[in-house]
A = this chain, B = another copy of it.
């Protein structure tokens, strides 16, 4: 039975030719006409750092940065540290500019992570398939790369064509990072403009990375009916040799799966993944299994199931080697990003490396050639798996109770826990033999196993192991289904939903993205998604968010992926893929402007972003955003005119972009049809907002899907969701309806009486909706 599941979706022909350079039908003649687009070139192809500054300043006027310093000091040069609380630093910088600078720096790091990943992957797949391998996303996709088309002004036709985008990203990134140097930018607004630029560079890098892997690894091209793959710790057969892949780069994992395929080892070896690598290896081969988001790392490793841990890059625990050693697992590092001090065995004979690893001569190896990783990982896993039988990875229940008695109840485990979980309480209960509170922490990743509590414990109690063991009995139930990542949104889908979205008939497109720094466990992601799916929003998910959503089942044991189709349409739950697949979300909004509204893309960023901001009711949700990549992604979607709602931890990013509903003048719009300035509404109210609770978030999300372009019917629909949810959580009508009801036709019928009463009290005056709302001036 296992065999059936592992049958690859991909056709055999490909496998026979996968190492051949495919260049049939492709003639590269240098600057051929192939990359030209049949539309006029807009004003800003390959925009410089300053080319889109005027657009940024429009956004920043409406949504000025809100700063919450995480530290009062600057420690970046040796004049300091300088205390910036009400004071300037030795270089003249003030607190606002310093916060903005820090955000730019974080976004540069994030963009570098995606761009480095994209470059590495592109280099590898060009090496595999040749520079001339055509970019063909199938007959349902003509707009293969909406971000590249808009920003570079060209259509990439081959893998080699993608290099130009990356070179451009790398150059821009260098300029942006330079601006973080001491004595450069002094204006917080200019720093923000640069951060936006970093954001769209991140967009480009992600688009390149995902297109490259879709083409090279024949991943799904956005069909929407991708297979359901196995998700959860319970899906792994511990009796087999287990290879765990962690990170974001599919190449080594793909080689492992190829080696398994080539050697007919599907029945003999388990390959599973954590974080985006998990998603991408299942896009490549649905035989792989997804353990879950990055919050599973320490728990899974501690549980001692993995024999070989293959790490590639990004979001991997940096103490992986230390943790692996505890249970006798072998670590293989596979990229320059994370070498872990391991001996470089890239050029050594695989059999020798295997023997060194098996014999424990080395704890792990750095193997920079993905091809070599496949064999070494599989063969080592096969050889050492038996050893696991004799390793006791986790303490017994009785041991836990005994150890827990040592707890001094100092309470610091709670104080250093990012979410202040009741760890101490759970330990003191455990000391009395009751492990249910520890188990409670395990459920839904309420504890996301960062290990800070252990580090602080004055008795050095292995608290994460306690929690892992206490949750152990859940593992067998952790068998879920996740729809494999689909990649892009197809043009045919956009043709269908573009109109309804722009008119408001589909109440919104909501994308759940980002990491697992959730304030109350992963279940909140799923609950929000469920609420929106019921209301027939288009829901998209990527990365850790997509995995967390898959861990939630209804009373029938079905996940949302099983209950909702994977289509990009009302009531669809589309798993776009890994973090780099986030490019397709902005991409879908761009395609709406292009396909539905016929806006040319080439070099036409500002018009496209303005269109999206005012007419495409999309909203991002990054409930657990923790990384610098997440900061860059948010900056990117924001510059395209897409707002985002974040979780409360995101206040630690130091900067949000907030609108002010009490400042009416901020919401004025230009009606491009008439050339007149007209009154608008706070739609979207914020560009980047951090909510305190899930309830606050969901109300914000539906509100942030409102757009000035909504038709009366669309506005009614959107307002009815807003009113409904607001009433549910806050017990009454929203207090700002007068801003969103332009005239009586906008009022949801079900709430007509109450709303009209409410509006009358507020002395509401009706107004007309603009025909073509915009922040730009009529040309």
Interface string of A703-736 (1 = CB under 8 A from B): 0000000000000000000000000000000000
Bound form: Cα–Cα A185–B112 in Å: 14
**Contacting A190 at CB < 8 Å: which of B90, B339, B625, B653?**
B339
Set of chain B residues within 8 Å of A50, measured between Cβ atoms: 336, 339, 344, 366, 368
**Contacting A517 at CB < 8 Å: which of B78, B110, B178, B341?**
B78
Cβ distance A228 to chain B, nearest Cβ, rounded Å: 28
> Is the C-beta of A189 less than 8 angstroms from some C-beta in chain B?
yes
Set of chain B residues within 8 Å of A83, measured between Cβ atoms: 416
Question: Do A175 and B626 touch (CB < 8 A)?
Answer: no
- Chain A residues 677 to 721 lying within 8 A of chain B, measured CB to CB, are none
> Is the C-beta of A127 less than 8 angstroms from some C-beta in chain B?
no
Bound form: Cα–Cα A83–B109 in Å: 22
Question: Do B190 and A627 touch (CB < 8 A)?
Answer: no
Interface string of A48-59 (1 = CB under 8 A from B): 111001100000
Residue of B nearest to A178 (CB): B116
Question: Do B81 and A452 touch (CB < 8 A)?
Answer: no
- Chain A residues 177 to 201 lying within 8 A of chain B, measured CB to CB, are 177-187, 189-190, 193
Set of chain B residues within 8 Å of A432, measured between Cβ atoms: none
Question: Do A173 and B174 touch (CB < 8 A)?
Answer: yes
> Is the C-beta of A318 less than 8 angstroms from some C-beta in chain B?
yes
- Chain A residues 106 to 124 lying within 8 A of chain B, measured CB to CB, are 106, 108-110, 112-113, 115-117, 119-120
Question: Do B117 and A178 touch (CB < 8 A)?
Answer: yes
Bound form: Cα–Cα A699–B657 in Å: 54
> Is the C-beta of A761 less than 8 angstroms from some C-beta in chain B?
no
Set of chain B residues within 8 Å of A336, measured between Cβ atoms: 48-50, 175, 179
> Is the C-beta of A20 less than 8 angstroms from some C-beta in chain B?
no
Question: Do B178 and A313 touch (CB < 8 A)?
Answer: yes
Question: Do A76 and B106 touch (CB < 8 A)?
Answer: yes
Question: Do B344 and A53 touch (CB < 8 A)?
Answer: yes
A residues contacting the other copy or chain, number (CB 8 A): 99
> Is the C-beta of A316 less than 8 angstroms from some C-beta in chain B?
yes
> Is the C-beta of A649 less than 8 angstroms from some C-beta in chain B?
yes
> Is the C-beta of A672 less than 8 angstroms from some C-beta in chain B?
no
Question: Do B337 and A184 touch (CB < 8 A)?
Answer: yes
Question: Do A178 and B112 touch (CB < 8 A)?
Answer: yes
**Contacting A174 at CB < 8 Å: which of B79, B106, B116, B342?**
B116
Question: Do A451 and B88 touch (CB < 8 A)?
Answer: yes
- Chain A residues 54 to 92 lying within 8 A of chain B, measured CB to CB, are 54, 70-71, 75-83, 87-92
Set of chain B residues within 8 Å of A649, measured between Cβ atoms: 78-79
- Chain A residues 328 to 372 lying within 8 A of chain B, measured CB to CB, are 336-342, 344, 366, 368
User: Known contacts A174-B115, A189-B341: does B626 contact A182 (CB below 8 Å)?
Assistant: yes
Residue of B nearest to A101 (CB): B318
Question: Do B628 and A319 touch (CB < 8 A)?
Answer: no
> Is the C-beta of A450 less than 8 angstroms from some C-beta in chain B?
yes
> Is the C-beta of A219 less than 8 angstroms from some C-beta in chain B?
no
> Is the C-beta of A407 less than 8 angstroms from some C-beta in chain B?
no
> Is the C-beta of A314 less than 8 angstroms from some C-beta in chain B?
yes
Set of chain B residues within 8 Å of A456, measured between Cβ atoms: 87
Interface string of A484-517 (1 = CB under 8 A from B): 0000000000000000000000000000000001
Question: Do A90 and B53 touch (CB < 8 A)?
Answer: no
**Contacting A178 at CB < 8 Å: which of B322, B337, B450?**
B337
Question: Do A418 and B90 touch (CB < 8 A)?
Answer: yes
Set of chain B residues within 8 Å of A21, measured between Cβ atoms: none
> Is the C-beta of A287 less than 8 angstroms from some C-beta in chain B?
no
Bound form: Cα–Cα A336–B179 in Å: 8
Bound form: Cα–Cα A265–B316 in Å: 62
Bound form: Cα–Cα A313–B179 in Å: 8
> Is the C-beta of A760 less than 8 angstroms from some C-beta in chain B?
no
Set of chain B residues within 8 Å of A625, measured between Cβ atoms: 78
Chain B CB within 10 A, most for which of A109, A339, A627: A339
Question: Do A650 and B186 touch (CB < 8 A)?
Answer: no
Set of chain B residues within 8 Å of A341, measured between Cβ atoms: 186-187, 189-190
Chain B CB within 10 A, most for which of A320, A336, A451: A336
> Is the C-beta of A317 less than 8 angstroms from some C-beta in chain B?
yes
Question: Do A177 and B175 touch (CB < 8 A)?
Answer: no
Question: Do A75 and B79 touch (CB < 8 A)?
Answer: no
> Is the C-beta of A547 less than 8 angstroms from some C-beta in chain B?
no
Bound form: Cα–Cα A180–B110 in Å: 9
Set of chain B residues within 8 Å of A49, measured between Cβ atoms: 336
Question: Do B653 and A78 touch (CB < 8 A)?
Answer: yes
Question: Do B90 and A181 touch (CB < 8 A)?
Answer: no
Bound form: Cα–Cα A150–B425 in Å: 62
> Is the C-beta of A97 less than 8 angstroms from some C-beta in chain B?
yes
Bound form: Cα–Cα A283–B61 in Å: 43
> Is the C-beta of A321 less than 8 angstroms from some C-beta in chain B?
yes
Residue of B nearest to A87 (CB): B455
Bound form: Cα–Cα A323–B88 in Å: 12
> Is the C-beta of A652 less than 8 angstroms from some C-beta in chain B?
yes
Bound form: Cα–Cα A547–B456 in Å: 51
Question: Do A339 and B53 touch (CB < 8 A)?
Answer: yes
Question: Do A92 and B317 touch (CB < 8 A)?
Answer: yes
> Is the C-beta of A558 less than 8 angstroms from some C-beta in chain B?
no
Question: Do B78 and A181 touch (CB < 8 A)?
Answer: no
> Is the C-beta of A668 less than 8 angstroms from some C-beta in chain B?
no
**Contacting A79 at CB < 8 Å: which of B88, B175, B626?**
B626
Question: Do A450 and B79 touch (CB < 8 A)?
Answer: yes
> Is the C-beta of A749 less than 8 angstroms from some C-beta in chain B?
no
> Is the C-beta of A629 less than 8 angstroms from some C-beta in chain B?
yes
Identify the A interface with B (CB < 8 A). Answer: 48-50, 53-54, 70-71, 75-83, 87-94, 97, 105-106, 108-110, 112-113, 115-117, 119-120, 166-167, 169-171, 173-187, 189-190, 193, 294, 313-323, 336-342, 344, 366, 368, 416, 418, 450-452, 455-456, 517, 625-629, 649-650, 652-653
15 pairs of residues in contact across A and B, judged by CB atoms under 8 Å: A76-B628, A89-B452, A97-B318, A113-B184, A174-B174, A179-B337, A182-B315, A183-B294, A183-B315, A184-B337, A185-B318, A185-B337, A185-B340, A186-B317, A190-B341
- Contacts A80-B418, A82-B452, A87-B456 aside, 20 further interface pairs with beta carbons under 8 A come to A48-B336, A76-B109, A78-B626, A78-B652, A80-B652, A81-B652, A90-B418, A91-B317, A92-B322, A93-B319, A110-B181, A112-B173, A116-B179, A120-B175, A173-B174, A178-B337, A179-B337, A186-B316, A186-B340, A187-B342
4 residue pairs, one from A and one from B, having the closest CB atoms: A186-B318, A92-B319, A187-B341, A116-B178
